[in-house]
Copies of this chain bind each other. A is one copy, B any other.
């Protein structure tokens, strides 16, 4: 049986990789094609493809084909909220850490 915690964990697992977070940020700012993401992130094409697949399979992204290209969009805008909050938490942690040297 799948409990709420299982679904939540699936979402977190999907975004629990630096490159997947970077991919989502690029899509957030309008870049929604494989061909533009790969060179920007310096990722091997096959590797990028697999990361995108993980994001689609987990339901974080939706994808559709347009000719040769595969385009992506966020399935639920609240995913960005998750990224923002995590960024805030990380920022607070870093500031607390550097206080020592102030």
Interface of A, helix, strand, loop or mixed by DSSP:
helix
Q: Does A15 contact B (CB under 8 A)?
A: yes
- Proximity string of chain A (10-32) to chain B, C-beta cutoff 8 Å, 1 when within and 0 when not: 11110111111110010000000
* Cβ B86 vs Cβ A8 within 8 A: yes
Q: Does A87 contact B (CB under 8 A)?
A: yes
* Cβ B82 vs Cβ A78 within 8 A: no
Number of contacting residues on A, CB 8 A? 37
* Cβ B11 vs Cβ A90 within 8 A: yes
A4 closest partner in B (C-beta): B87
Distance in Å from the Cβ of A62 to the closest Cβ of chain B? Answer: 12
A87: chain B residues within 8 A (beta carbon): 4, 7-8
Q: Does A65 contact B (CB under 8 A)?
A: no
A44: chain B residues within 8 A (beta carbon): none
Distance in Å from the Cβ of A52 to the closest Cβ of chain B? Answer: 16
**Contacts beyond the supplied A5-B22, A9-B16, A79-B89: 19 A-B pairs with Cβ under 8 Å:** A4-B87, A4-B91, A7-B86, A7-B87, A7-B93, A8-B87, A8-B90, A9-B18, A9-B20, A9-B21, A11-B89, A12-B13, A12-B86, A13-B16, A76-B89, A76-B93, A78-B88, A81-B85, A85-B85
